[in-house]
Chain A
Amino acid sequence: MNAALRLRDVTKSFSGHAAVRSLSFEVPRASVFGLLGPNGAGKTTTLRMVMNVFAPDSGTIEVLGGASDHAARDRIGYMPEERGLFPRMSLEEQLVFFAETKGSSRRLALERLPFWLERLDLDPKWRRRKLNELSKGMQQKAQFIATVLHDPELLILDEPLAGLDPVAASSMRDVLLELRRQGKTLVLSSHQMETVERLCDTIALVSRGEKLLDGPVSEVKRRHGRNTVVLAYEGDGAFLAGLPGVGSVSDFGRYVEIRLADGGDAQAILQAAAARLRISRFEIVEPSLHDIFVQHVKRHAAEAVA
C-alpha cells in the first residue's frame, strides 16, 4: 500500500536562510502522523510545501500517490497554523465557499454542513451570523469544518488543538480519531507532546529544518530504551545524582526521574537509595515523548552552536 504522503530530500531556503534541509519522511495511509519540533523548526514551511503554497527548492513531494497538483489538493484538507476566515461573511456562506474552492458542489456542501455543526456542537442558529460575531472558540470550530467539509482523504492540521479549552480539545481529539477510523490520513504538527502521544501512530521530530528521528511512536520509545527510573521517597535525595550509573536527575517535586548512564544498573541504584531513604515508589519506565523531544532538541542545538 502506498503512502499518503512521501517527502524525499526536500529542501527550502528563504533568502539564504535554510528553513528545511533535506527532509524525508513517509506517512502511511489511514494513520495519524505527528510532525514535531520546536518553534522555527520548519514544520509550517514543510506543510506549506505539501500544500504547494510554495514549491521546494529541491526534492520531491508525493501526495496521495502523485504530485501535489490541483486534483490532489482537492482531496486534502488544510488547516494552517495561522487561522484565517472571512470576518464579514456568514458562517454558512463561508464554509460552503471553502468547500467550493476544493471542487465540492454547493449542494453537497450544504448537505454535509448540519452533520459537522452538530458534531462540533455549533448551534445551527449561528449559520447566518457573520464570523466576527462568533466567539474565538466557535471560530476555531468553524475553521476545522472549513477543512473537512469537502470530505478530504488527507488532513493536514497545523497545531489542531492550539487555543482550544480542555473540553473542546478532548472532543476535537475524538473527532480526529474518528476520522482515522474512517480511513482518513491525518498529518498534524504540534509541540504539545501529550497530544501527540495520545493521537499519533508515527512521528518525525525536526529541529532547525532537519529531521532528528522518525518512526512509529512505540518504536521510537523502545529505541530509547527502558532507561528511566521513577523514584518517590521521603528524605534528602540530593546524593542520588552522585550515585554510580546515574546519568541525570530531574526533580518533579513529588518524585524524581533518573536517567541511567550507559551501563547503569537500576537495581543497584534502588539498593543504594533504599539504604538512606524511605522509598514509596520505584518504577522502570520508557522515556516520555516529551523527554525524548527535549533531549534531542537540546543536543541538536548544542551541536549547532559547537
Chain B
Amino acid sequence: MRLLPIVRREYLERVRSRAFLIGTVLGPILMAAFTVLPSLLMAKQRGKPLRIAVLDEGGALRSVVESALATRQVDGRNRFEIRPAGAGAPEQVRERLKQAVLAGEIDGYLFLPRDALERSVAEYHGKNVSNVMDIGVLDRALDDAMIGLRLEEAGIGEARAKDVMRRVDLKTLQLSERGAREDRGASFFLSMMLLMTLYTTVAMWGAALMNGVIEEKANRVVEVVVSSISATELFAGKLLGIGAVGLTQFLVWSGFLLGLSLYGGVIAVMGGTKLPEIPVHVAVLFVVFFLLGYFLYGALYAAVGAAVNSQQEAQSLAFPVMMPLILGVMLFPMVLSSPDSALSVVCSFVPFWTPLLMFLRVTTLTPPAWQVALSIVLTLASVVFLNWAAARVYRVGILMYGKRATLPEILRWVGRA
C-alpha cells in the first residue's frame, strides 16, 4: 500500500492553501460577527427610551395608560418616555402629534378611541412600527392597564389586581436519559448551527474532492501517478486526505469554541444570550455523521469528477449528487418540529439523509440508541458499497478523455472488470 504519500500530499496541499485559512479562521469570525453583532446593536439601541404621547379621545384612560407605560421597564430601565399630547380638539391634537412624529420630536403616539375600553382597541402611530420587541412591550403594558381598569370596575383592588395578573414564567427543559437541563432556545440555535455546519462541510469537501479529481485529470498528472499506484489506492488516498482536512477544520473550530467559552463570557453577556454547551455525545456523533456523510457524498463527487473533463461539464452531473443533500436540508423543519414522528424516523434511516436527519434528531430529543446505531450501520453499508462502485468508475474515468460520459456509460464502468 502506498497510501501515505497520497494522503499526505492531499492533506498538506489543502491545509496550506489560502482557501483553507480563510474558510477555517475567517469563517467562525464572520459567523460570530453575524450572530453576536446584531444582538449587540439591538441591545445598544434598546437603551434609548421611546418618546410617546397618549391621545385619549374619552379622557378617562390617559392617566392610567400613561403611568402604565412610564413604569414599564426593560433590562432595568424605563422603556417609554411620556410626552404631553397637548390640549385641544382631538382632530387638531392628532394633526399636531402627526407632525411631531414626522419631525422626529417624538417616536410615536398612542390613540385611544372613545370606546377603547369596551371594544378593547387602540392604535399606535409611529415612524417605525417594525421594532417588534418594543411594540410587544407596548402591547403588554396597554393590556395590563386595560385589564386593571376592568378589574377595578369589577371591584377588585389595585394590589389584588396586580396579583391576579402575575405572568407565568415558562421555562423549557429538555429531557434526556442524562437528566433535564434548562433550555432557552439555545438548543434550537445549536441544532441549526451544527446541522448547517455539517451540511456545508460535507458539500464543501465533497466538491473539493471532485474539483481535485477534475484538475488532476485535466493536467494529466493522474496518469503519472497511476503508473506507480493503483487507481483504487489513489482514490482512497484522496478521500482520506481531504477527510483529514475536514477533521482538522473541526479541530480548529473546537479550539475557537473552547476559547469562546473560556474568554467569551463577556461577549455572551453583552449579546444577552447564553452560549450553548455541546454535550460530548453530540460532539462525537457530529464527527461520526460528518465522516459518514463525507465518505458517502465524497465517493459520488469523486466519481463525477472522474467522468467529466472540466468543471463546466461537472455541473449537470454533480446536480443529482447534490440533490439528496439539498432535499435533506429541506426536511429539517419537518424533523425539527416532530423529531419522533413516523415520517421523521423513516427519513432519518435513509442513508443519504442519515448524516443530517439522524443527527438533527439526536440534537433535539435523543432517539433510542438502537435507532442511532442502526442508522449508522445502514449508512456505513451504503458508504462501503458506493465507494466500491465509485472507485471503479474513478479507475476507468480518469483515463477517459474526449466527450463527457453519459450516466448509463458510467454505470457500465462499475461492472467492468
Q: Which of B4, B13, B228 has the most CB of A within 10 A?
A: B228
Closest to B234 in A: A101
Decide if A82 touches B223 in the complex (CB within 8 Å).
yes
Say yes or no: is A27 at the interface (Cβ < 8 Å to chain B).
Answer: no
| Contact in complex: B227, A97 (CB < 8 Å) | no
Contact B220 A84 (CB under 8 A): yes
Given A74-B228, A101-B228, A86–B13 Cβ distance below 8 Å?
yes
Hey, which chain A residues are within 8 Å of B227, CB to CB? Answer: 48, 51-53, 73, 76, 78, 80
Let me know if B64 is at the binding interface, CB within 8 A: no
Known: A53-B399, A54-B399, A97-B9. A80 touches B228 (CB 8 A): no
Cα-based distance from A275 to B417 in the complex (angstroms): 71
Residue of chain A at shortest CB distance from B237: A101
B96: Cβ under 8 A from any A Cβ: no
Chain B residues in 8 Å Cβ range of A80 = 220, 223-224, 227
Q: Kindly provide the distance from the CB of B237 to the nearest chain A CB, expressed in whole angstroms.
A: 10
Interchain CA distance A48-B399 in the complex, whole Å: 10
| A3 interfacial by beta-carbon distance below 8 Å | no
For residue A291, give the distance in angstroms from its CB to the closest CB of chain B. 34
A25 within 8 A of B: no
Contacts of A70 in B (CB 8 A): 230
Q: How far is the CB of B346 from chain A (nearest CB, A)?
A: 42
**Contact at A84–B223, with CB atoms within 8 Å?**
yes
A204 on interface, CB distance cutoff 8 Å: no
Residues of A within 8 A of B9 (CB): 86, 89, 97
| Chain B residues in the interface with A (C-beta under 8 A) | 2, 4-6, 9, 13, 17, 216, 219-230, 399
Residues in A neighbouring B216, C-beta threshold 8 A: 84, 86
A residues 68-88 in Cβ contact with B at 8 Å: 70, 73-74, 76, 78-80, 82-88
Residue from B9, B221, B229 having most chain A Cβ neighbours under 10 A: B221
Interface residues of A in 42-74 (CB under 8 A from B): 48, 51-54, 70, 73-74
State whether B2 touches A98 (Cβ < 8 A): no
In the complex, A145→B56 CA distance in Å? 92
Is the beta-carbon distance between B6 and A101 smaller than 8 angstroms?
yes
Do B228 and A98 have beta carbons less than 8 Å apart? yes
Point out the residues of chain A lying under 8 angstroms from B399, CB to CB. Answer: 48, 53-54
**Does A9 interact with chain B (Cβ within 8 Å)?**
no
Interchain CA distance A88-B215 in the complex, whole Å: 11
Q: How far is the CA of A40 from the CA of B73 in the complex (A)?
A: 86
Rounded to whole angstroms, the CA-CA distance of A51 and B223 in the bound complex is 10
Q: Is the CB of A83 within 8 A of B220?
A: yes
Chain B interface mostly helix, strand, loop or mixed?
Answer: helix
Are A101 and B225 in touch, CB under 8 angstroms? yes
A103: interface (CB < 8 Å): yes
A214 within 8 A of B: no
Known contacts: A53-B399, A101-B229, A103-B2. The answer to whether A84 contacts B224 by CB under 8 A is yes
Size of A's binding interface in residues, CB under 8 A: 27
Q: How far is the CB of A143 from chain B (nearest CB, A)?
A: 8
Tell me the nearest residue of chain A to B409, going by C-beta: A15
Q: How far is the CA of A79 from the CA of B222 in the complex (A)?
A: 12
When C-beta atoms are compared, the residue in chain B nearest to A101 turns out to be: B228
**Which residues of B are found within 8 Å of A76, using beta-carbon distances?**
227
Residue from the list A48, A53, A88, A101 in contact with B5, Cβ < 8 A: A101
Q: Among the interface residues A73, A80, A103, which one has the most CB atoms of the partner chain B within 10 A?
A: A80
Nearest A residue to B4, CB-CB: A100
Contact (A85, B221) CB under 8 Å given A101-B5, A101-B6:
yes
Q: Within the assembled complex, what's the spacing in Å between the Cα atoms of A79 and B225?
A: 10
CB pair A146 B224 closer than 8 Å: yes
Complexed CA–CA distance, A74 and B227 (Å)? 9
| A101 with B13, Cβ < 8 A, contacts A78-B227, A83-B220 known | no
- Asked, given contacts A53-B399, A89-B9, A103-B2, whether A98 binds B224 with beta carbons under 8 Å apart, the answer is yes
For the complex, give the distance between the alpha carbons of A98 and B224 in Å: 9
Provide the bound-state CA to CA distance between A85 and B223, in Å: 10
Residues in B with CB closer than 8 Å to A54 are: 399
A97 / chain B contacts, CB cutoff of 8 Å: 5, 9
- Cα-based distance from A78 to B219 in the complex (angstroms): 16
Contact of B13 among A52, A84, A88, A98 (CB under 8 A): A88
Q: Is the CB of B221 within 8 A of A53?
A: no
The residue on B at minimum CB distance from A55 is B417
- In the bound complex, what is the Cα–Cα distance between A2 and B222 (angstroms)? 32
Q: Is the CB of A84 within 8 A of B5?
A: no
Per-residue interface assignment for chain A, residues 108 to 120, with 1 indicating a CB less than 8 Å from any chain B CB and 0 otherwise: 0000000000000
Query: Which chain B residue shows the least CB distance to A54?
Result: B399
Please, how many angstroms separate the alpha-carbon atoms of A74 and B222 in the complex?
A: 17
CB <8 Å contact, A84 and B2: no
Interchain CA distance A27-B187 in the complex, whole Å: 71
A12 interface contact, C-beta 8 A: no
Whether A84 contacts B228 in the complex (CB less than 8 A), given A89-B13, A97-B9, comes out as no
B225 cross-chain contacts in A, Cβ below 8 A = 98, 101
Residue ID in chain A nearest B2 by CB atoms: A101
| Known A51-B227, A86-B216, A100-B2; further 15 A-B contacts with Cβ < 8 A | A52-B227, A53-B399, A54-B399, A70-B230, A73-B227, A73-B228, A78-B227, A80-B227, A82-B223, A84-B222, A84-B224, A86-B219, A98-B228, A101-B6, A101-B225
Decide yes or no whether A102 CB sits under 8 A from chain B: yes
Q: How far is the CA of A88 from the CA of B17 in the complex (A)?
A: 9
Minimum C-beta distance from B26 to chain A (A): 20
| Cβ-closest chain B residue relative to A86 | B221
Please report the C-alpha to C-alpha distance between residue A103 and residue B227 in the assembled complex, in whole angstroms: 13
Q: Show 11 A/B contacts (Cβ-Cβ < 8 Å), sorted by A.
A: A53-B399, A54-B399, A78-B224, A78-B228, A80-B220, A80-B224, A85-B219, A87-B219, A89-B13, A103-B2, A146-B224
Docked Cα-Cα span, A125 to B399, in Å, equals 34
The 9 A-B pairs of least Cβ separation, nearest first, read A84-B220, A84-B221, A82-B220, A100-B5, A51-B227, A101-B228, A78-B227, A80-B223, A102-B228
- On chain A, the residues within 8 Å of B219 by CB distance are 84-87
**Cα A83 to Cα B229 with chains together (Å):** 17
Which B residue sits closest to A51, measured CB to CB? B227
Alpha-carbon distance between A73 and B230 when the two chains are bound, in angstroms: 11
Q: Kindly list chain B residues whose C-beta atoms are within 8 Å of the C-beta of A100.
A: 2, 4-5
Complex contacts, A103 vs chain B, CB 8 Å: 2
| A70 to B4 alpha-carbon distance, docked (Å) | 16
C-alpha gap A54/B231 in the complex (Å): 10
